[in-house]
Amino acid sequence: MSLRKLLWAMLVAVAVAVGVGADRWLGAEATAEGKQDLKPAVALPVTRVVLFNSGVGYFSRSGEVEGEARVDLMFPESDVNDLLKSMVLEDFGGGRVAAVSYDSREPITRTLSSFAINLNGNPTFADILQQARGERIEVTTQPTAANQPGKLTGTIVGVEHQQIPVGKDQSTVIEVLNMWCAEGLRAVKLNEVQQLRFSNPVIESEFRRALEVLALNHDSQKKAVSLHFAGEGKRKVQVGYVVEAPIWKTSYRLVLDGENKGKPYLQGWAIIENPTDEDWAGVRMALVSGRPISFKMDLY
C-alpha cells in the first residue's frame, strides 16, 4: 500500500505537468479553429483524458464562462480528497480563480438549517413565508381577485388562518398573507397568489442554493465541487485533476495479408480491467454530447 501511494504521488506531479502542457497546446488549437467550439455556459465538458497503467487518470475540462461564474462538478465522495490535492485551475482572458468549495459531509438536515430559508421537513408555502417575515416580496395575484391589483410589492408581516363561510352553516379555513405595502396593510389569500418573488437577491441565492443541496442529496455517494471564477466578459477556463481510474494493460496484434498483397500492420489494444460507471462518466458525457475529446493512454 505504501509503494502504491508513493507511485501515485509521483504520477500526480507528472500527470499535472503533462496534462497542463497538453492543454495549452489544445487550447491554442481550439483558438485557431474558433471559440464557437466552446460551450457558452458554466458546464465544462471533458476535453482530454490520460490514463496511466498504475490505476490513476488525468482528466481535463475546458469551456467558456462570462463574468462572475460558478461551475459545479460531481464526483464520488472517495475521489474528492485526491481531486483537491491535484487540481489545477486556469482562467484566461484576464480572469481569476476566486474560490473552490465542496459539499460538507454533515447531515443534510444540518446543512439545510444553515440557510436563510430552512427547507427541512417539506415546508408548505405558508411555512416558507413565515420564515421570511420582514423580507420584501413581489406578488402576482389572479386577475379575478377582488379588490386586488395584478401585482403587489411590500414586506411580509406574517401568515394567518381565517375562517370564512362557504355555505349554510358551513365554513372553511384559508391561509392569508399579510403584507405592508406603500398604501398600507393588505391581506392576500394564498390560494390567489400565482407568483411570488423575493426582492432581496441574498434570499433568492440562499433559496436556490438550498434547492441545489436537496437535489444533490438524491445521490448520497457523490459530492459537488464548486469552482468560482471572477472576471469580465467571455473567456476560456479549464481545470485539470488526477483521480483514481481503472487499471489497464496493452495487447498487440500483428495483422498479415493471407495472399501477401498488402503490407502487414501492428495493432495496439488497451484492455481495461473492471471499469466502473464512475470511471467513465466524464468520457461518456463527452461522447454523447458529440464534443471532440482527446483520449490518450500512456505508460509512465
CATH of the domain at 200: 2.30.30
13, 90: one domain? yes
Choose one of 157, 185, 210: the last residue of a domain: 210
28, 162: one domain? no
Number of domains in the chain: 2
Range of 64's domain? 2-106+226-245+275-298
Evaluate whether residue 261 is within a structural domain. Answer: no
Choose one of 210, 237, 261: the last residue of a domain: 210
19, 95: one domain? yes
92, 232: one domain? yes
Residues of the chain with pLDDT under 50: 1-41, 278-279, 281-295, 297-300
Evaluate whether residue 136 is within a structural domain. Answer: yes
Evaluate whether residue 68 is within a structural domain. Answer: yes
Evaluate whether residue 264 is within a structural domain. Answer: no
Task: Write down the pLDDT at residue 105.
Answer: 62
81, 165: one domain? no
32, 81: one domain? yes
* pTM exceeding the 0.75 threshold for the entire prediction: no
Evaluate whether residue 287 is within a structural domain. Answer: yes
Task: Write down the pLDDT at residue 219.
Answer: 65
240, 97: one domain? yes
9, 102: one domain? yes
What is the tens place of the pLDDT at every residue in 212-242? 888 877 766 677 788 888 888 888 999 999 9
90, 183: one domain? no
237, 96: one domain? yes
Euclidean distance between CA atoms 300 and 296, whole angstroms: 12
Task: Write down the pLDDT at residue 136.
Answer: 95
Evaluate whether residue 290 is within a structural domain. Answer: yes
Task: Write down the pLDDT at residue 286.
Answer: 42
Evaluate whether residue 219 is within a structural domain. Answer: no
47, 192: one domain? no
Q: Any idea of the CA torsion for 226, 227, 228, 229, to the nearest 10 degrees?
A: -160
Evaluate whether residue 253 is within a structural domain. Answer: no
Q: Are 172 and 125 in contact (CB under 8 A)?
A: no
89, 155: one domain? no
